[in-house]
């Protein structure tokens, strides 16, 4: 008893379809569980796994990279979680990475998260242990919340107390809030500040005008300096042209020699005068010793040998001094001559530079 | 003194209980006989293929519609409830878990029991009543091998395929249901649906469907094969087959779920 062909084909399609769906499901879930990819194993030690179960996902940078393969209790506070992780992400998980247990959503599945790791450090190897960070337990969070709420209660109470004090006008803040003096003071202060601002504005305006004046003065000064410089130029030119006394002094060496001669003559004259006066003195001494006039001089007290000697010495010294002075004058004249020479050179240079600037 | 030999005491049970245990023993021996006959040549390949077609392919439309509607309604009803908890995104995952683990295999098997269990029971029962089975024996054909083994084997192999297809169709129904509320791509839906399903979920779920199929086939065949010789017994056989096979499905499911949780 055979079956016709169309029925066989239908049956074949039916079975194939069923098996195809089954195989698809197997492979889909298999790929999710990393059954058909190369994997390696690492582990972490936790004190509590917070409900993590075998088969839960292992995430790295938010990507599912593996599953929890086994959870074993090693000691009271030592639970070893073995992870099966895809070989292809091995290079990205470093030896200094850390693991923790998180929830997918507030009440979702637990996931083991691998994070951190210094770029460039050594990647993990199969069988390595990754340092674990204690997961935040819901119980701990609630405990912390309880603590926080108690503290908040205390704070609220204190705030109430402060508010009451403020309302009653106690303390600095209370006075500040309830006393209007401060406001009045502030008001007047504001008015003062406004006045001050006006004054400052005025001062600023004045300063501005002063600065303007100064600027214009400076401009004028510059013009004056220009004029002066021009005048100096003219003067220098005139000096050089030997029309003036100074020019003559500076330029004419003959004139300088004449002055020198005059000075020398003057000195000679002075010396002659000294000599004349000395001769006169001798004549007068002779008169004193003359018997005709002797009585007269004796009465006056002039007849004294020592005194005469002294006077003589004094005269002599004075003459010597004069001589010295004359020598000095000569030296000075020479210096002056040199200085004049220098000044002439200097003026000549300045004149040249002025001419060049023009 | 003459010692009276001890009379062998007969097991006395109420009539209904007696029947019950008789049935259990009969079913067990029938199942064992099936397993023995299954591996013994000659093999009725053509008849087996025919039964594959009749039991598997012909049941597909019914199972497909059931699966589709189950996926659709389950999703539609889950969305508002899970939305209240802000977990609407978990709907695909929940529907997939429910369908693949429990609802798909059990509902499909119950539908299958209703259609195939009663069909086999009625068919074999009528054959028994019309003495076709007896005549088969006379003609030298092994009626057990030809009628029973082929049907049980077909039921055992076809039900898992039907369940897998029903699961897939139910998930598709869920996808359409989600798209009534919101737009989701098929890929996103599948990723979300399969997120929490592992091998330890799929393997027991598929394994138990073989047992469901076998039990439905065994019960159906047993009831039909052992029908008494009245016309009304055909109806009784069909009815009992459905009732017992449905009950068997539920019982096996309970045991298998427990067993799976121990093994996986």
Chain A interface, best mutation among B48, B94, B145, B168, by max A CB count within 10 A: B168
CB contact under 8 A, B199 and A35: yes
Query: What tokens does B213 get?
Result: 């199929």
CA distance B142 to B31: 16
Mark which residues 41-80 of B lie under 8 Å from A by CB.
46-47, 49-50, 52-53, 56-57, 60
Instruction: Answer yes or no: do A33 and B199 touch at CB < 8 A.
Output: yes
Q: B90 lies in a domain?
A: yes
Contact criterion met (CB below 8 Å) for B159 and B109: yes
* Cβ atoms B97, B201 nearer than 8 A: yes
Q: Given an 8 Å threshold on Cβ–Cβ distance, is B202 in contact with A29? A: yes
Helix (H, G, I), strand (E, B) or coil at A151: helix
Do the strands A39-46 and A57-60 form a parallel or antiparallel pair, or are they unpaired?
unpaired
| C-beta separation of A124 from A93 below 8 A | yes
Terminal C-alpha separation, chain B = 66
**H-run or E-run covering A41:** strand A39-46
Instruction: Parse chain A into domains and list their residue ranges.
Output: 1-32, 39-136, 245-357
Best of A11, A67, A84 to mutate (most B CBs within 10 Å, chain B): A11
Cα A155 to chain center, whole Å?
A: 45
Are residues B198 and A32, on separate chains, in Cβ contact within 8 Å?
Answer: yes
Query: B261 CB near a chain A CB, below 8 Å?
Result: no
Cβ neighbours for B245, distance < 8 A, ≥ 6 positions apart: B113, B117, B215, B216, B219, B220
**ipTM of the assembly?**
0.73
Q: What is the pLDDT of residues B127-146, one digit of tens each?
A: 888 888 888 888 888 888 88
- CA dihedral in degrees (B254, B255, B259, B262; nearest 10)? 60
3-state secondary structure of A158: helix
Determine, yes or no, domain membership for B26: no
Handedness of CA A250, A253, A259, A264 (dihedral sign): positive
Domain of B68, in residue numbers: 57-263
Of chain A, the end-to-end C-alpha distance in Å amounts to 137
CB contact under 8 A, B194 and A28: yes
The answer to whether A303 and A297 are in contact (CB under 8 A) is yes
Residues 6+ apart with CB under 8 A from A200: none
Closest residue in chain A to residue B264, using alpha carbons only: A54
Best to test chain A binding among B84, B99, B164 (most A CBs inside 10 Å) = B164
Identify the bridge partners of residue A94 per DSSP, sorted by sequence position: A123
Preceding amide of B102 cis, omega within 30: no
DSSP sequence for A230-286: HHHHHHHHHHHTT-SHHHHHHH-HHHHHHHHHHHHHHHHHHHHHHHHHHHHHHHHHH
Judged by CB atoms closer than 8 Å, whether chains meet at B199 and A29 is answered as yes
- Helix (H), strand (E) at residue A200: helix A181-240
Q: Which helix (H) or strand (E) holds A111?
A: strand A110-116
Query: H-helix or E-strand containing A81?
Result: strand A78-86
Distance, CA of B153 to CA of B34 (rounded, Å): 9
Smallest CA–CA separation between A32 and chain B, in Å?
8
Are the C-beta atoms of residues B72 and B174 closer than 8 Å to each other?
yes
Tell me the chain B residues in contact with residue A107 when contact means C-beta distances shorter than 8 Å: 87
3-state secondary structure of B235: helix
Q: What pLDDT was estimated at residue A1? A: 47
Residue B135 makes CB contacts below 8 A (sequence gap 6+) with: none
Q: Which of B60, B164, B194 sits opposite A21 (nearest CB)?
A: B164
Question: How many folded domains does chain B comprise?
Answer: 1
Residue A80's SS3 state is strand
* Residue A219 CB coordination number (10 Å): 10
Query: DSSP string spanning B123-170?
Result: HHHHHHHTTHHHHHHHTT--HIIIIIIHHHHHHHHHHHHHHHHHHHHH
Residues of B in contact with A34 (CB under 8 A): none
Low-confidence ranges of chain B (pLDDT < 70): 1-14
Q: Could you identify the residue written with the tokens 């449905």?
A: B246
Q: In degrees, to the nearest 5, what angle opens at C-alpha A184 toward C-alphas A179 and A187?
A: 140
Distances (CA, A) of A297 to A30, A131, A285, A286, A313: 160, 137, 10, 11, 21
Residue A172 CA to residue A276 CA, distance in Å, equals 108
Sequential pLDDT tens for chain A (358 residues): 457 888 888 888 888 888 888 888 878 877 776 666 788 889 899 888 888 888 788 888 888 888 888 899 998 888 999 988 888 888 888 888 889 888 876 556 788 888 878 888 888 888 888 888 887 777 778 888 999 999 999 999 999 988 888 888 787 777 777 777 777 888 888 888 888 888 888 888 888 888 888 888 888 888 888 888 888 888 777 766 656 666 666 666 777 788 788 888 888 888 888 888 888 888 887 877 777 777 777 777 665 667 768 888 888 898 899 889 989 988 998 898 898 899 889 888 888 888 887 6
8 Å CB contact of B56 and A25: no
Residue B180 CB contacts under 8 Å (≥ 6 apart), including other chains: B76
Residues of B in contact with A84 (CB under 8 A): none
Written as six digits, the tokens of A80 are 């070893």
Inter-chain CB proximity B198 and A25 less than 8 Å: no
Burial A44-68 (b: 16+ CB within 10 A, else e): bbbeebbebeebbbbbbeeeebbbb
List, in sequence order, every beta strand (DSSP E) within A133-248.
none
- Residue A160 has which token pair? 């109430």
Q: Are B88 and B190 in contact (CB under 8 A)?
A: no
DSSP code for B117:
I
| Phi–psi pair at A80, nearest 5 degrees | -95, 125
Residue B72 within a domain:
yes
Percentages helix, strand, coil for chain A (3-state, rounded to 5) are: 65, 15, 20
CA distance B133 to B122: 14
pLDDT in tens, A44-57: 998 888 888 887 88
CA A338 to CA B135: how far, in whole Å?
A: 169
B21 contacts chain A (CB < 8 A):
no
Measure Cα distances from B51 to A313, A327, B139 in Å. Answer: 176, 161, 22
Cβ separation of B56 and A2 shorter than 8 Å? no
Inter-chain touch B57–A11, beta carbons under 8 Å: yes
Q: Are strands A63-75 and A78-86 parallel, antiparallel or unpaired?
A: antiparallel
Q: Which residues pair with A129 in a beta bridge?
A: A43
Alpha-carbon span A185 to B240, nearest angstrom: 104
- Determine the length of chain B: 264
Q: Is B236 on the interface with A (CB under 8 A)?
A: no
């Amino acid at each position: 008893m055979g079956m016709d062909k169309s029925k066989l084909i239908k049956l074949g399609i039916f079975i194939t379809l069923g098996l195809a769906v089954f195989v698809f499901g197997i492979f889909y879930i298999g790929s999710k569980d990393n059954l058909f990819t190369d994997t390696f194993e690492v582990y972490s030690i936790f004190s509590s796994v917070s409900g993590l179960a075998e088969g839960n996902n292992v995430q790295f940078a938010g990507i599912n990279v593996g599953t929890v393969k086994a959870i074993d209790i090693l000691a009271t506070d030592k639970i070893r979680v073995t992870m099966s992780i895809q070989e292809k992400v091995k290079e990205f998980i470093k030896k200094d990475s850390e693991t923790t247990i998180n929830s997918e959503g507030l009440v979702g599945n637990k996931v083991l998260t691998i994070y951190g790791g210094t770029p460039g450090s050594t990647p993990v190897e199969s069988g390595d242990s990754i340092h674990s960070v204690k997961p935040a337990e819901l119980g701990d969070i609630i405990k912390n919340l309880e603590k926080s709420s108690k503290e908040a209660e205390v704070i609220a109470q204190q705030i109430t107390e402060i508010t009451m004090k403020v309302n009653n006008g106690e303390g600095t803040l209370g006075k500040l809030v309830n006393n209007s003096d401060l406001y009045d003071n502030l008001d007047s202060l504001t008015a003062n500040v406004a006045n001050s601002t006006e004054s400052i504005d005025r001062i600023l305006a004045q300063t501005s005008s002063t600065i303007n004046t100064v600027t214009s003065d400076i401009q004028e000064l510059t013009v004056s300096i220009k004029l002066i410089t021009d005048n100096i130029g003219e003067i220098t030119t005139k000096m050089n042209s030997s029309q003036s006394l100074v020019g003559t002094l500076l330029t004419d060496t003959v004139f300088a020699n004449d002055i020198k001669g005059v000075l020398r003559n003057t000195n000679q004259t002075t010396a002659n005068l000294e000599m004349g006066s000395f001769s006169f003195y001798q004549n007068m001494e002779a008169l004193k010793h003359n018997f005709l006039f002797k009585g007269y001089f004796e009465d006056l007290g002039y007849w004294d040998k020592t005194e005469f000697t002294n006077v003589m010495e004094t005269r002599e010294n004075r003459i010597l001094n004069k001589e010295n002075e004359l020598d000095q004058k000569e030296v000075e004249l020479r210096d002056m001559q040199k200085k004049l020479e220098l000044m002439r050179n200097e003026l000549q240079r300045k004149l040249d530079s002025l001419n060049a600037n023009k | 003194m003459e010692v009276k030999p001890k009379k062998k005491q007969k097991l006395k049970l109420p009539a209904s209980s007696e029947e019950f245990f008789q049935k259990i023993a009969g079913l067990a021996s029938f199942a064992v006989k099936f397993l023995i006959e299954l591996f013994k040549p000659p093999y009725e390949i053509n008849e087996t293929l025919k039964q594959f077609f009749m039991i598997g392919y012909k049941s597909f439309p019914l199972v497909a519609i059931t699966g589709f509607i189950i996926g659709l309604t389950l999703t539609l009803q889950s969305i508002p409830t899970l939305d209240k908890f802000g977990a609407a995104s978990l709907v695909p995952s929940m529907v997939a878990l429910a369908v693949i683990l429990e609802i798909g295999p059990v509902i499909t098997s119950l539908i299958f029991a209703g259609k195939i269990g009663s069909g086999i029971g009625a068919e074999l029962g009528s054959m028994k009543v019309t003495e076709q089975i007896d005549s088969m024996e006379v003609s030298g054909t092994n009626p057990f091998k030809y009628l029973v083994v082929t049907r049980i084997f077909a039921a055992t192999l076809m039900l898992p395929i039907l369940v897998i297809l029903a699961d897939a169709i139910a998930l598709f129904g869920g996808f359409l249901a989600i798209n009534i509320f919101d737009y989701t791509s098929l890929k996103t839906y599948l990723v979300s649906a399969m997120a929490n399903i592992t091998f330890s979920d799929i393997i027991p779920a598929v394994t138990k469907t073989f047992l469901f199929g076998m039990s439905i086939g065994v019960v159906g065949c047993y009831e039909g094969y052992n029908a008494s010789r009245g016309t009304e017994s055909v109806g009784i056989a069909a009815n009992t087959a459905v009732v017992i096979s449905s009950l068997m499905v539920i019982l096996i499911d309970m045991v298998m779920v427990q067993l799976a949780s121990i093994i996986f």
